[in-house]
């Protein structure tokens, strides 16, 4: 079948805009919006009986996994061991057949991720595959397919697959919490209701495209960009940097904000825009001190936050992008959008081939 761009300039733009809808489809597979409960899911293992979850993936899918580590550990008290697949398969970590392993992949064909899956299979672990292509090799070789319902993703830069992966993983973390008794039935309902609000908030964020395009025009004049975040916004900072370098070819790094003074601060001057991803959460003040350190060295701050964050950020920014105030559990899903849009518009200003960036393949099926 044919997939076309509709009235969009690029597949990536179209796929960014599809997110409210595909997040909703994906979530509906796992949660009952009306009842405010998780839908039944036949898992080949019991979250209550495993001691650890191993996760392996590449690129953007790996960063979705890294965000889910925060969720599984926070909501379900389930330790997660995660690595990029090319390290996972060779680092000889001790694996237990009593534990489960999740593999995250849009294509379901990525060579290193597939090799990691087979490696865990050999170790006798139970295998779950979070995949977008249901007919893929990973789907076939897993014990349970945990589908993302993003539809075909054509742009090489992953966007909607990522937020759908996050949606699946968030629902699984809640499920793990219920199974392990760390989430009560009331909390389950609250969290499910919060998840169900993600598509609506995503829609609101898409309307910020005018402002984000303006920031992207500025960004396209720089050679290096630093992204900072704490907690789940740390993997998101790495995702922002990955997206930007992939399609605009601007060098970018994503760092945990707390690591700033352990090295990257040496790079800060007026030629270094710093994108800070910081909703007003319980560690917001820590990030404010990092921003002050950046500002004191002439660094240009682009702050992505919410209304409370904007009110409490006592620092001069080049631009502040204010997102809706969203519940903690959906924050990474919602904050992914401005990150993707920023990379997209910057690449458009740079005149690169957005959907087919140089040297990259949509699916890396050789090691
Ligand atoms: C994302 O923008 C990249 N193109 C890339 O990192 C991708 O996420 C990675 O290659 C994994 O692909 P997969 O999800 O198909 O396994």
| Residues 317-351: tens digit of each pLDDT | 999 999 999 999 999 999 999 999 999 999 999 99
Q: Which residues in 146-157 are b (16+ Cβ under 10 Å) and which e?
A: bbbbbbebbbbb
Give me the residues paired with residue 82 across strands: 55
Q: What is the pLDDT of residues 144-182, one digit of tens each?
A: 999 999 999 999 999 999 999 999 999 999 999 999 999
For residues 243 and 267, what is the distance between their CA atoms, to the nearest angstrom? 21
How far away, in angstroms, is 84 Cα from ligand 1 center? 11
> Which of 286, 326, 290, 289 is CA-nearest to residue 305?
326
CA angle 297, 299, 301 (to 5 degrees): 135
* Neighbouring residues of 227: CB distance < 8 A, sequence distance ≥ 6: 237, 238, 240, 241, 252, 253, 254, 255, 274, 275, 276, 277
Closest CA to 114 of 61, 52, 173: 61
What is the pLDDT confidence band of residue 366, given thresholds at 50, 70 and 90? confident
What per-residue confidence (pLDDT) applies to 260? 95
Q: Give the mean pLDDT of the chain.
A: 96
Instruction: Give me the torsion for CA of 319, 325, 328, 329, rounded to 10°.
Output: -100
In ligand 1, which atom is closest to the CA atom of 113?
Answer: 16
Which has the closest alpha carbon to 69: 281, 235, 241?
235
Do the beta carbons of residue 265 and residue 240 sit within 8 Å? no
- Return the ligand 1 atom nearest residue 106 CA: 14
Residue 197 DSSP code: T
CB-based contacts of 8, cutoff 8 Å, min separation 6: 14, 17
Testing ligand 1's pocket by substitution, the residue of 15, 60, 239 carrying the most ligand atoms inside 8 A of its CB is 60
Q: Could you tell me if the CB of 61 is within 6 A of ligand 1?
A: yes
Instruction: State in Å: Cα 150 to ligand 1 middle.
Output: 14
Counting from 1 in the atom list of ligand 1, the atom nearest the Cα of 57 is 16
Residue 2 has pLDDT above 80, yes or no: no
| Whole-Å CA distances, 161 to 64, 286, 324 | 10, 31, 22
Region 116-128: what's the mean pLDDT? 97
Question: Among residues 327, 332, 342, which one has the least CA distance to residue 23?
Answer: 332
- The response to whether residue 246 sits with its C-beta less than 6 Å from ligand 1 reads yes
Residue 1 has pLDDT above 70, yes or no: no
Q: Which of 144, 149, 142, 148 is nearest to 165 (CA)?
A: 148
Residue nearest to atom 6 of ligand 1 (CA): 59
**Residue that the structure tokens 């924050």 belong to:** 331
- List, by residue number, the catalytic residues: 362
Per-residue pLDDT at 367: 86
Burial level of 359, CB count in 10 A (0-12/13-18/19+)? exposed
Instruction: Give the whole-angstrom CA distance, residue 95 versus residue 56.
Output: 13
197 has pLDDT over 70: yes
Distance spanning both ends of the chain, measured CA to CA: 29
Q: Cα of 33 to ligand 1 centre, how many Å?
A: 30
Q: How confident is the model at residue 3 (pLDDT cuts 50, 70, 90)?
A: confident
Rounded CA separation 299/292 (Å):
10
ipTM of the modeled complex = 0.99
By alpha-carbon position, which residue is closest to atom 9 of ligand 1?
59
pLDDT in tens, 31-73: 999 999 999 999 999 999 999 999 999 999 999 999 999 999 9
């Amino acid at each position: 079948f044919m997939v076309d761009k509709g009235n969009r300039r690029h597949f990536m733009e179209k796929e960014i805009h599809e997110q409210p809808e595909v997040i909703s489809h994906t979530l509906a597979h796992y949660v009952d919006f009306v009842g405010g409960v998780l839908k039944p899911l036949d898992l080949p293992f019991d979250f209550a009986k495993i001691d650890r979850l191993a996760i392996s993936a590449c690129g953007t899918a790996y960063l979705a996994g890294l965000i889910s580590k925060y969720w599984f550990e926070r909501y379900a008290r389930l330790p997660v061991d995660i690595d990029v697949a090319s390290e996972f398969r060779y680092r000889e970590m001790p694996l237990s057949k009593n534990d489960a392993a999740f593999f995250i992949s849009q294509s379901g064909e990525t060579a290193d991720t597939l090799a990691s899956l087979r490696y865990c299979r050999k170790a006798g672990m139970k295998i779950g595959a979070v995949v977008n292509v249901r007919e893929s090799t990973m789907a076939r070789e897993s014990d349970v397919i945990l589908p993302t319902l993003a539809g075909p993703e054509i742009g090489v830069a992953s966007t909607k697959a990522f937020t759908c992966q996050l949606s699946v993983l968030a629902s699984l973390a809640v499920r793990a919490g219920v199974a392990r008794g760390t989430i009560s039935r009331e909390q389950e309902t609250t969290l499910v209701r919060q998840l169900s609000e993600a598509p609506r908030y995503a829609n609101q964020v898409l309307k910020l495209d005018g402002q984000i395009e303006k920031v992207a025009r500025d960004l396209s004049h720089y050679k290096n960009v630093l992204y900072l975040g704490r907690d789940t916004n740390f993997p998101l900072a790495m995702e922002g940097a990955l997206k930007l370098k992939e399609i605009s070819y601007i060098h970018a790094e994503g760092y945990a904000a707390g690591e700033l003074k352990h090295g990257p601060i040496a790079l800060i001057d007026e030629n270094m825009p710093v994108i800070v991803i910081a909703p007003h959460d319980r560690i917001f003040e820590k990030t404010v001190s990092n921003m002050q350190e950046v500002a004191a060295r002439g660094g240009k701050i682009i702050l992505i936050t919410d209304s409370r964050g904007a009110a409490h950020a006592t620092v001069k920014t080049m631009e502040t992008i204010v997102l809706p105030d969203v519940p903690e559990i959906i924050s990474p899903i919602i904050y992914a959008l401005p990150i993707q849009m920023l990379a997209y518009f910057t690449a458009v200003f740079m005149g690169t081939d957005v959907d087919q960036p140089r040297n990259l393949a949509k699916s890396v099926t050789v090691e």
